[in-house]
C-alpha cells in the first residue's frame, strides 16, 4: 500500500480472479484506490483507468507464469513497485521494478534483477524512505524459509541493485554483501514502514505461523532482540476465525495513516484445501505504542498486546500450502 492524495491510498494485490474459488480470469497484479471511512477501508475505484479492475501489466499467464508484487512506495508523487516473476508460486525467475507517474494507471519498467542477486535473498522486499534520503529495503527469499536482510539505496540507483548497499549488523558496515538483521525466522511477506519516529516491521513468520510486528527506533541493527507483538495466529479452519485462530494467514500490510497507537494491517488468507476462502482482512491493532514503550521507558506491557512466540509444528494446511508453493520446482 502507498498513500496517494486527498487521504486516499493505493492497494496492490497478487493473484486475483474474476470469480470465487480461484476461477475465472486470472490477473496479477491488480490494484484499487481506497480510503478510510470511520476506520474501515472503503474501495473507491480501480487503480487502473476505467471502472473495472484490470491487470496492471500486460502479459499472459502461460505455463504458470505470474507476477507477484512485493511492495509499492510513493516518492514525491511517483509510485514505484517491485515484483517477482514466478513460474509457479515460489519459483522466482527474476524480479523487476516499475514506476508510475499517473497514480498507478500505467507503469514503465526500470529494469530486472536476476535471482543470483544476494543468492535470492533480495527477491521478496519491502521498502520505505528514511529521513536521511536513503530508501531502506528489508528482503528475503520467496520460500518462507530464510532470514531478513537490510539494504539501502539512493533514488538515482533504484534500477541498479548492484549499487545497493547491504548492512552487516555484526560490523555495523554497509557494503555489497551483508548478513541478516533478523535470524531465527522463516520470513514470508513483510512490510517496512516508518511510523511515529519508529521503524515498524510487520511480517508473516512461517516458523511460528503468525503475523508478527516488531518496532524499534533504530533500523540498522540486529533485530533478534526486538520484542514481538502477535497480531494473528494460525488455527484450525473448523474453529471460529479470530485473531488467535486465523487459519493459513500470510502477508501483513500496514494501511497508510496508521499510528503505533492505532494501526490497521491487512492480512491475507487462503484455504488451500478447497479455495473456499481466498481474501484479505483488515485488522485494527491498538496499543503497540504502550507495548513497545514508545515515549516511555522501554518496558513491555503484556496486558496490552498478547505476545507468545514459540516454534509451531507443521500443520496439515501449511504443508499443503508449502507443497503448492514448491510444485513448480518438483
Number of domains in the chain: 1
Q: Is residue 66 assigned to a domain?
A: yes
How many C-beta neighbours within 10 Å does residue 49 have? 12
Q: Is residue 327 assigned to a domain?
A: no
Q: Write down the mean pLDDT value for the chain.
A: 92
Helix (H, G, I), strand (E, B) or coil at 162: helix
Residues 6+ apart with CB under 8 A from 307: 227, 228, 229, 230, 291, 300
Average pLDDT of the residues in 59-83: 98
- The residue segments making up the domain with residue 197 are 2-294
Q: Is residue 307 assigned to a domain?
A: no
Res. 295 pLDDT band, cuts 50 70 90: confident
- Tell me whether residue 133 is exposed, middle or buried, using C-beta atoms within 10 angstroms of its C-beta: 0 to 12, 13 to 18, 19 or more: exposed
Q: What is the CATH number of the domain that holds 141?
A: 2.115.10.20
Q: Is the dihedral of CA 144, 146, 152, 156 positive or negative?
A: negative
pLDDT of residue 152: 99
Given a cut of 90, whether residue 330 has pLDDT beyond it is: no
Q: Is residue 152 assigned to a domain?
A: yes
Q: Is residue 311 assigned to a domain?
A: no
pLDDT of residue 313: 41
Report residue 303 as a C-alpha cell.
496486558
Q: What angle do CA 170, 171, 175 make, to 5 degrees?
A: 115
- Tell me whether residue 297 is exposed, middle or buried, using C-beta atoms within 10 angstroms of its C-beta: 0 to 12, 13 to 18, 19 or more: exposed
pLDDT of residue 320: 45
What digits encode the pLDDT tens for the residues 130-177?
A: 999 999 999 999 999 999 999 999 999 999 999 999 999 999 999 999
Rounded to whole angstroms, what are the CA distances from 296 to 7, 227, 228, 262, 330? 30, 15, 18, 17, 51
Q: Is residue 308 assigned to a domain?
A: no
Helix (H, G, I), strand (E, B) or coil at 323: helix
Q: Is residue 315 assigned to a domain?
A: no
Residue from 53, 102, 94 nearest 74 by CA: 102
What digits encode the pLDDT tens for the residues 79-126?
A: 999 999 999 999 999 999 999 999 999 999 999 999 999 999 999 999
Report residue 321 as a C-alpha cell.
500450502
Q: Is residue 85 assigned to a domain?
A: yes
Amino acid at each position: 500500500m502507498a498513500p496517494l492524495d486527498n487521504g486516499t491510498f493505493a492497494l496492490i494485490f497478487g493473484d486475483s480472479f474474476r470469480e470465487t474459488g480461484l476461477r475465472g480470469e486470472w490477473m496479477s497484479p491488480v490494484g484499487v484506490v481506497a480510503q478510510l471511512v470511520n476506520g474501515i477501508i472503503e474501495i473507491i475505484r480501480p487503480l487502473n483507468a476505467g471502472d473495472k479492475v484490470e491487470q496492471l501489466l500486460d502479459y499472459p499467464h502461460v505455463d504458470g507464469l505470474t507476477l507477484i508484487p512485493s511492495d509499492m512506495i510513493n516518492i514525491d508523487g511517483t509510485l514505484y513497485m517491485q515484483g517477482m516473476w514466478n513460474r509457479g508460486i515460489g519459483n522466482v525467475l527474476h524480479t523487476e521494478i516499475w514506476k508510475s507517474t499517473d497514480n498507478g494507471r500505467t507503469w514503465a519498467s526500470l529494469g530486472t534483477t536476476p535471482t543470483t542477486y544476494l543468492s535470492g535473498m533480495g527477491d521478496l522486499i519491502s521498502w520505505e524512505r528514511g529521513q536521511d534520503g536513503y530508501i531502506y529495503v528489508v528482503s528475503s527469499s520467496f520460500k518462507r524459509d530464510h532470514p531478513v536482510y537490510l539494504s539501502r539505496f539512493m533514488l538515482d540507483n533504484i534500477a541498479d541493485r548492484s549499487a545497493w548497499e547491504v548492512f552487516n549488523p555484526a560490523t555495523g558496515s554497509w557494503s555489497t554483501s551483508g548478513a541478516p538483521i533478523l535470524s531465527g525466522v522463516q520470513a514470508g511477506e513483510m512490510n517496512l514502514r516508518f511510523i511515529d519516529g519508529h521503524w515498524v516491521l510487520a511480517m508473516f513468520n512461517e516458523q511460528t505461523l503468525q503475523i508478527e510486528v516488531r518496532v524499534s527506533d533504530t533500523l540498522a541493527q540486529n533485530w533478534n532482540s526486538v520484542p514481538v507483538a502477535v497480531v494473528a495466529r494460525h488455527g484450525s479452519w473448523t474453529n471460529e476465525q479470530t485473531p488467535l485462530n486465523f487459519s493459513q494467514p500470510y502477508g501483513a500490510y500496514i494501511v497508510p495513516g496508521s499510528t503505533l497507537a492505532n494501526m490497521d494491517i491487512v492480512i491475507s488468507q487462503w484455504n488451500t484445501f478447497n479455495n473456499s476462502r481466498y481474501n484479505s482482512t483488515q485488522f485494527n491493532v491498538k496499543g503497540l505504542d504502550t507495548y513497545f514503550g514508545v515515549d516511555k521507558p522501554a518496558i513491555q506491557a503484556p496486558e496490552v498486546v498478547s505476545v507468545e512466540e514459540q516454534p509451531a509444528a507443521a500443520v496439515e494446511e501449511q504443508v499443503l500450502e508449502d507443497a503448492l508453493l514448491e510444485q513448480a520446482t518438483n
